[in-house]
Amino acid sequence: MCAAPQMKWWLDDYKAKSPAAAKWESFVNEFRKMFAERPFVTEEKLKQIKNPVLILQGDQDIVSIDHGLMIYRQIKNAQFCVLPATTHFVLSTKSDMVTKVTVAFLGG
């Protein structure tokens, strides 16, 4: 398997930090499998969540905005935030933005 060119930065980072770096292909395959099998969490389970939840996603995320909104609508105490010019890897690429939103969510 060859990683897509747009994923090179992620793969380099993964190989540098993961204790199982040599098994990256297995990780990618399992990750793809996870995304292919929906739903990850049923709406019934989401409705059982009572704690406040912050749902973050990028406006260019692999997860659709509609899917994020569906999750948000099922959790009573949820907040939903779409971060501009970001992908699913926003924590790695724009951690300062994630930190500001998270601190605000936590009341800081």
Nearest alpha-carbon partner for 43 in 60, 21, 67, 22: 67
Report field, pTM of the whole predicted structure over 0.85 = no
Distance, CA of 64 to chain centre: 11
DSSP state of 47: H
Query: CA angle at residue 55 from 92 to 99, to 5 degrees?
Result: 45
pLDDT, tens digit, for every residue of 1-21?
A: 555 566 677 788 888 888 888
73, pLDDT greater than 60: yes
CA distance 22 to 47: 39
Which of 29-43, 66-80, 88-102 is modeled with the greatest confidence? 66-80
What token pair was written down for 58?
A: 């990028």
